[in-house]
C-alpha cells in the first residue's frame, strides 16, 4: 500500500500553539510568529452573525446569492467586475486555494519566499511545487524571466506546471510587487499557458492608498483566479470565510465546474450564518470601511516602529508597504551571531529568539528559502492588546494619534528593541516611539 503523503503542521499554526502553551504556563512571551490579527469583531458583524444563527441548511455549494453578489460588488469597486455566477465562497481562502490546485491539476509554480501553505498544499494535491525566486523588493511574484526558465526546464524534464501562485500584497515580505512586475508576470503566464492564482487576502491592508496593489487579473483576465477573504482586513480568521473570483472565459467556466465539484465533496457549502454576516461585510457599509481603514493605520504605525528596531541593530529590511509583516535579514550580523550565540541560520535564530527571549518568529526556511539565510519573518499583529477593550482603544487611537502612546503597545515594541539589542550586542536604540 502506498504511504500517506508526508505533511507537517503549518509552521505558523504550530508556532502559535507552542507559544500559547508557554503563555498558559505563565511565561512571558511575545508572539510574532503568525499573522493572526489581534483585533475584536466589529459589533455590526457580530450582531448579524448572531441573528443568523438559525440558518441551518447547507445552501448552495458556491455560496448564497446574497454573498456572491456582495462579493461581486466588492471586486467591482476594485476595478475587477465579475458576474456573481463566477464567485465561489468557501470556508476560508486556504480551503479554496487547495480546492483550486485540485481543480487546475498539474504542478505549481510558487514564489520564493512565499506563504507556508502553497508548497504543502501542492504536495497534498499530489503535485510538485516548482520554486521560482522573486526579484528584490517584489515579494509574492516570481521573477518573470526565471519563471520562463523554470517552466521550460520543468516541461523538458517531463513535469507539468499548470499554475503559478502569486501573493499581492505579499506575506512574508510585506512588500507589493510593482505594476510592471505584475504585468510581466501576467504576460509570461499567458505565453506559458499557466493559470495564475492570485492570493489577494492582504489587498485592503496596503499602507499608502496612492500605491494600490495591482492584480494580474487586469493583465491576464482570461486566466487569473483571484482569492480573498475577511481574515486579515476584518480579523475574522476563526469565522473561516473566503472567496474566489473565476475568470470570465472558457477556462474560468470549466474551473468553476471543477471547483464547485471539489467543494461539494469536501465541505458541501460555506457555513450559512457566517455567509450572512460576510455578505454584509463585503457590501462595505461605512462602518466596515472605517474599521478596515483604522486597522490599516494601526498596522502601519506599529509595523514601522518595529521595523526601526530591526534596522537600528543592523538588520536589513525592505520597507513594509502593506500588512503587518517584516522580513529582516541578519546577514550583516552573521559573524556576531555565530560567535556570540552559535547561530548560523534563520532556524537557529528563530530558536534562540524563542528559547532565550520568549519571542516567536518564523525562519525563512518556512517560506521555502533554501540554504541557511539569516532571515526571519516577524508579524506585529498581536501587539494591540490582550483584551477587546485594549484592542478597541488601539483602533481608536490609530485614527487621530500615535498608537504607541498606549502603554501596552509601547511595551511590546520596546521589548523587541531590548531583545534585538541584546542579540546584537549593541545598546538599546534610543528611538522616538514612532520612529
Ligand atoms: C497569503 C495568505 N493566504 C491565505 C491565508 C489564509 O487565509 P484564510 O483565513 O482565508 O484561509 C493567509 C493567512 O495567514 C495568508 O497569509
Is the Cβ atom of 199 under 6 angstroms away from ligand 1?
Answer: yes
User: Which tens digit of pLDDT belongs to each residue from 290-315?
Assistant: 999 999 999 999 999 999 999 999 99
Residue 272 or 25, more confident = 272
Atom of ligand 1 nearest to the CA of 93: 10
Q: Is residue 79 over pLDDT 90?
A: yes
Atom of ligand 1 nearest to the CA of 230: 10
Is the Cβ atom of 93 under 6 angstroms away from ligand 1?
Answer: yes
Residue from 232, 270, 367, 379 whose mutation best tests the ligand 1 pocket (most atoms within 8 A of CB): 232
144 backbone φψ class: left, alpha, beta (φ>0; ψ -120 to 50): alpha
Is the Cβ atom of 201 under 6 angstroms away from ligand 1?
Answer: yes
Residue 158 CA, ligand 1 centroid: distance in Å? 31
Query: How many angstroms separate the CA atoms of 115 and 166, rounded?
Result: 10
Query: How many angstroms separate the CA atoms of 346 and 327, rounded?
Result: 11
From the CB of residue 154, how many other CB atoms can be counted at a distance below 10 Å? 16
Hey, whose CA ends up nearest to atom 5 of ligand 1?
94
User: Which tens digit of pLDDT belongs to each residue from 52-71?
Assistant: 999 999 999 999 999 999 99
Quickly state the pLDDT bin for 169 (edges 50, 70, 90).
very high
- Report the helix count and the strand count for the chain, using DSSP H and E: 14, 12
Cell of 408: 501596552
Q: Is residue 17 over pLDDT 70?
A: yes
Q: What is the mean pLDDT of the chain?
A: 95
Query: How many angstroms separate the CA atoms of 377 and 81, rounded?
Result: 34
Is the Cβ atom of 167 under 6 angstroms away from ligand 1?
Answer: yes
Is the Cβ atom of 140 under 6 angstroms away from ligand 1?
Answer: no
Contact partners, residue 210, CB within 8 Å, separation at least 6: none
Residue 94 CA, ligand 1 centroid: distance in Å? 6
Is the Cβ atom of 169 under 6 angstroms away from ligand 1?
Answer: no
Is the Cβ atom of 391 under 6 angstroms away from ligand 1?
Answer: no
Atom of ligand 1 nearest to the CA of 170: 1
Residue 339 CA, ligand 1 centroid: distance in Å? 37
Residue 237 CA, ligand 1 centroid: distance in Å? 8
Geometric angle at alpha carbon 200, from 175 and 154, rounded to 5°:
80
Q: Is residue 380 over pLDDT 80?
A: yes
Hey, whose CA ends up nearest to atom 13 of ligand 1?
35
Atom of ligand 1 nearest to the CA of 114: 1
Quickly state the pLDDT bin for 186 (edges 50, 70, 90).
very high
User: Which tens digit of pLDDT belongs to each residue from 80-111?
Assistant: 999 999 999 999 999 999 999 999 999 999 99
Residue from 36, 141, 171, 201 whose mutation best tests the ligand 1 pocket (most atoms within 8 A of CB): 201
Average pLDDT over every residue of 1-18: 78
Is the Cβ atom of 360 under 6 angstroms away from ligand 1?
Answer: no
Global pTM value: 0.96
pLDDT score at 26: 84
pLDDT score at 435: 53
Contact partners, residue 403, CB within 8 Å, separation at least 6: 298, 301, 302, 384, 394, 397, 409
Quickly state the pLDDT bin for 24 (edges 50, 70, 90).
confident
Residue 99 or 19, more confident = 99
Hey, whose CA ends up nearest to atom 14 of ligand 1?
35
Is the Cβ atom of 227 under 6 angstroms away from ligand 1?
Answer: no
Hey, whose CA ends up nearest to atom 16 of ligand 1?
171
- φ, ψ of residue 418 in degrees (nearest 5): -65, -45
CA distances from 183 to 159, 201, 363 (A): 26, 19, 30
Share of the chain above pLDDT 90, in %: 89
Amino acid at each position: 500500500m502506498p504511504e500517506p503523503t508526508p505533511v507537517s503542521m503549518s509552521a505558523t499554526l504550530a508556532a502559535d500553539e507552542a507559544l500559547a502553551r508557554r503563555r498558559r504556563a505563565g511565561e512571558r512571551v511575545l508572539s510574532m510568529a503568525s499573522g493572526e490579527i489581534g483585533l475584536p469583531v466589529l459589533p455590526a458583524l457580530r450582531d448579524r452573525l448572531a441573528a443568523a444563527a438559525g440558518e441551518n441548511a447547507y445552501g448552495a455549494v458556491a455560496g448564497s446569492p446574497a454573498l456572491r453578489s456582495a462579493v461581486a460588488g466588492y471586486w467591482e469597486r476594485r476595478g475587477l467586475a465579475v458576474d456573481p455566477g463566477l464567485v465561489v465562497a468557501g470556508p476560508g481562502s486556504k480551503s479554496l486555494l487547495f480546492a483550486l490546485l485540485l481543480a487546475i491539476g498539474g504542478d505549481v509554480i510558487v514564489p520564493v519566499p512565499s506563504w507556508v501553505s502553497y508548497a504543502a498544499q501542492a504536495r497534498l494535491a499530489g503535485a510538485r511545487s516548482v520554486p521560482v525566486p522573486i526579484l528584490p523588493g517584489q515579494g509574492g511574484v516570481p521573477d518573470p524571466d526565471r519563471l520562463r526558465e523554470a517552466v521550460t526546464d520543468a516541461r523538458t524534464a517531463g513535469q507539468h506546471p499548470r499554475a503559478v501562485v502569486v501573493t499581492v500584497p505579499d506575506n512574508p515580505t510585506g512588500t507589493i510587487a510593482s505594476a510592471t512586475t505584475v504585468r510581466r508576470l501576467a504576460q509570461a503566464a499567458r505565453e506559458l499557458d499557466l493559470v495564475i492564482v492570485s492570493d489577494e487576502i492582504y489587498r485592503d491592508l496596503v499602507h499608502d492608498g496612492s500605491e494600490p496593489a495591482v492584480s494580474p487579473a487586469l493583465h491576464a483576465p482570461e486566466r487569473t483566479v483571484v482569492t480573498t477573504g475577511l481574515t486579515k482586513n476584518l480579523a475574522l480568521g476563526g469565522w473561516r470565510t473566503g472567496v474566489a473570483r473565476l475568470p470570465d472565459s472558457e477556462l474560468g467556466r470549466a474551473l468553476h465546474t471543477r471547483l464547485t465539484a471539489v467543494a461539494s465533496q469536501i465541505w458541501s457549502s460555506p457555513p450559512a450564518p457566517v455567509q450572512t454576516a460576510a455578505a454584509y461585510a463585503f457590501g462595505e457599509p461605512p462602518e466596515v470601511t472605517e474599521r478596515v481603514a483604522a486597522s490599516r493605520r494601526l498596522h502601519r504605525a506599529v509595523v514601522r516602529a518595529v521595523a526601526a528596531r530591526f534596522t537600528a541593530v543592523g538588520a536589513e529590511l525592505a520597507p513594509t508597504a502593506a500588512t503587518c509583516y517584516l522580513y529582516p535579514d541578519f546577514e550583516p550580523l552573521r559573524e556576531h551571531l555565530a560567535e556570540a550565540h552559535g547561530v548560523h541560520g534563520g532556524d537557529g535564530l528563530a530558536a534562540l529568539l524563542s528559547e532565550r527571549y520568549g519571542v516567536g518568529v518564523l525562519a525563512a526556511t518556512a517560506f521555502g528559502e533554501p540554504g541557511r539565510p539569516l532571515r526571519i519573518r516577524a508579524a506585529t499583529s498581536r501587539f494591540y492588546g490582550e483584551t477587546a477593550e485594549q484592542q478597541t482603544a488601539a483602533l481608536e487611537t490609530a485614527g487621530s494619534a500615535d498608537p504607541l502612546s498606549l502603554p501596552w503597545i509601547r511595551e511590546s515594541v520596546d521589548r523587541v528593541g531590548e531583545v534585538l539589542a541584546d542579540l546584537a550586542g549593541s545598546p538599546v536604540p534610543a528611538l522616538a516611539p514612532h520612529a
